[in-house]
Amino acid sequence: MLNIIWLLLLASGIIIAALNGNIEVVTEAALGAAKGAVEVCFDLVGIMALWLGIMKIAEHAGVVGGIAKLMEPIMVRLFPSVPSDHPAMGAIILNISANMLGLGNAATPFGMKAMQELQRLNHKPDEASEAMCTFLALNTSCITLIPATIIGVRLSFDSSNPTEIVGPCIFATGVAMIIAVSLDYWFRKRSPWGRHR
């Protein structure tokens, strides 16, 4: 799936650039993006370290486990393959909470931590486990309670009501989340792509 998408993006881009007669943008875009990707990763190093450090403190104090315990009834249904006291549960909850509050830079470290914990339970390390797919379905469609960035942009253009989009955002992300979680459930339970072991 991803092989095809990746190839399509790259090949269609190069072919269309050639047809448009500006093939030189391809070289520039490719080299620039390669460099930019590494910069993104290095920007992440410090933020990752900060949040993983804070998370470790919270873990040692039993905060993460406490939150996980609180959410257990929902979490065991969403992630039947993960033991309810597994550290992955806490990291998933932290990631989703950060996403909901629009704290993107805290969400990523928690999310990567969650993936590492889920990977420990994965029988095929180079293949996504079902719990990982469910987690990412939740994550990519997650309800946004505070779309902070876009409120800021609207504010900067002197909108008469910068926050009027909050309700619609909650509605649209809510619908997307319901669909994503349902579809993931269907894939997991009914489709030939689900692994039954």
Partner 1 sequence: MLLSFLTLVSKWAIPFLLLVIPIYSYVKKVPVYESFVEGAEEGFTTAVKIIPFLVGMMVAISVFRASGAMEYLTRVLDPLVSRLGAPSEILPLAIMRPLSGSGVLGMATELMRIYGPDSFIGRLASVMQGTTDTTFFVLTVYFGSVGVKKYRYSVITGLTADITGFFAAIYICNILFY
Q: In the bound complex, what is the minimum distance in angstroms from residue 186's beta carbon to partner 1?
A: 9
Q: Which of residues 165-194 bind partner 1 (CB under 8 A)?
A: 165-169, 171-173, 175-177, 179-180, 183-184, 187, 191, 193
Q: Extract the tokens encoding 101.
A: 């509050």
End-to-end CA distance of the chain: 23
Q: Are 100 and 39 in contact (CB under 8 A)?
A: no
Alpha carbon distance 149, 176 (integer Å)? 20
Radius of gyration, alpha carbons of the chain: 20
CB of 119 to partner 1, least distance (A): 4
Select from 171, 80, 175, 86 the least CA-distant residue to 133: 80
Name the one residue in this structure whose structure tokens are 């500006």.
22
Please tell me the distance from the alpha carbon of residue 181 to that of residue 7, in angstroms, as a whole number.
28
20 binds partner 1 (CB under 8 A): yes
- Report the residue number, 86 or 184, with the smaller CB distance to partner 1: 184
Residue in the block written with tokens 């620039």: 32
Q: Which of positions 135-164 make contact with partner 1 (CB under 8 A)?
A: 136-137, 139-142, 144, 146-151, 153-154, 157-164
Which CB, 29 or 71, lies closer to partner 1? 29
**Does residue 111 touch partner 1 according to CB under 8 A?**
yes
Q: Any contact of residue 57 with partner 1 (CB under 8 A)?
A: yes
Near partner 1 in 90-109, by CB under 8 A: 99, 101-103, 106, 108-109
- Tell whether residue 26 is a contact of partner 1 (CB under 8 A): yes
